Structure 1
Amino acid sequence: MSKIPVFDIGDTLSPSKEFSRKVFREELERQGVENPPKYPYEGFNEMSVESIQEWFERDDIDADAEVAVEKYKEAKKERLKELEMFEMLRKIGKEIETPGIISDNKVAAKKFYKDMFEEENVEIEGFVVSEEIGVKKPEKGIFQEFLNRRSLSGENCVYFGNNIPRDSACENVGMQFVLVKQFEVFGDNWNGRQVSKLNFENVREEVTR
C-alpha cells in the first residue's frame, strides 16, 4: 500500500531564495532601477504587496511594488510549469494518493499556491503553513496539525523536504523523511533517504518502499 506523499514548498517543489532574488532584480531593472539592491529574502514576503512596499521604502527603491509582486507570481508559475511540478502532482493524485503540503510560509503564499493549483487542476488535501497555526518546523506541532486535518497517523506519510534539521523533524510524529537535493539544501550529514530530483517516479519509489 502506498503512503501519502507530503511536500515542503520552497526549494523542494521549486527554487526559492535565489530565484526570488533573480526575479526581483530583473523586474527592478525593467522598471528603471539602476543597480538594484539584493532582495532581502529572510525579512520580507514576496507574495505580499505591502511587504515588498516596505522593502522599497526601507531601501529607497523607486518602483511599483504591486507590479513587482505580480511579475514574481507569474515567474513562479512559469517555473513550476517548466519543472513539470503540476503534472507530477496531478499524476500523484491520480495514481498514488492525494498529496499534502506542510510549509514554513505565510497565509498569502498559501492562497497563491491554492489558487494556482486550482487553475492547474491539482488537488491538495491538507495544506498547512506556519503563519496560520503559529508553529514552525522543527516543532512537531506543524506536522501533527497536518495529520489531524487528514485524520492520519505519521506512519502513513512520507515527507519530502530540503532542510535537514527542520524537515527531518517530521520523524518525531512517525513520518518518513526524504531529502530533496534538486535545489538548495540546508544542513548536512544526512545519511538517510534522499532523491536528487523530484519527479513522479522518484516519489512513487519512496512512498511504496
Structure 2
Amino acid sequence: MKGVQYLVAFVLLALASKLVSASDPGPLQDFCVAINDTKDGVFVNGNSARTPSLQPQKTSSCLASTFLEIHQTKSLVRIDYAPYCGLNPPHTHPRATEILVIVEGTLSVGFVISNTDNRLFTKVLYPRDVFIFPEGMIHFQFNMGSTNAVAFFALNSQSPGVITIANAVFGSDPTINPDVLAKAFQLDQNIVKQLQSRFWWDNN
C-alpha cells in the first residue's frame, strides 16, 4: 500500500512541476542583423538593429553614463561611463539575467542577494572581464577609473524590464507618502521630501 502512495505522490509532484514551470517565452526573433540600407534588413517589431558605434558616446550630466541600444528589444546595449563618476545606478531586471563584458576602462560592479542576508557580491572589472548579474537582483556599475569605460551588456529576455531603485522610490508619480519613506529608510521626513523634489532621470 505504501508503494502505491509513493507512486501517486511522485506522479503528482511530476505533474505539478510541469504546471508551475513558468519562464520567459522563447524569443520571437533572436537575431537582428545590423545594416546600412533598410532594404536589406532583418527587422524586429518593424525596426532594424543598429551598428555598434566605435565612437565614445556623450554622457549625461546626471549619471555620467550613456546607453546605446543595439537590439530593438533592449536586450543588447552599449554603455559609456565617464571617468571617476560614470554610474549605472542600483536597479533590477525582473525578467532577465544580465551579462556584462567590459571592453575599455575599469568598472566596479556588484549585486545584492535576497532579503535574508543582503549579501553584496562585488568585483573590479578590467577589459575583457565578464560579470553576470542574476535575474531580479539589485545591481550597479560604477567607473572608478580616470579614463572612460565602455561595456556591452546582454539580457536573456526580449522584455527584461528595468526598475531603477532611486527613481521608483523617490521619483514616483504621484509621490509615495513621505511618512512611509521616512520610516522605511529611517530618514528625517525633510530629507525624504528633498529627495522627492529632485529631478529623477530616465535610464530605461
Instruction: Place the TM-score, normalised by the shorter chain, in its bin.
Output: under 0.3
More strand by percentage: 2
TM norm structure 1: 0.27
Larger Rg: 2
TM norm structure 2: 0.28
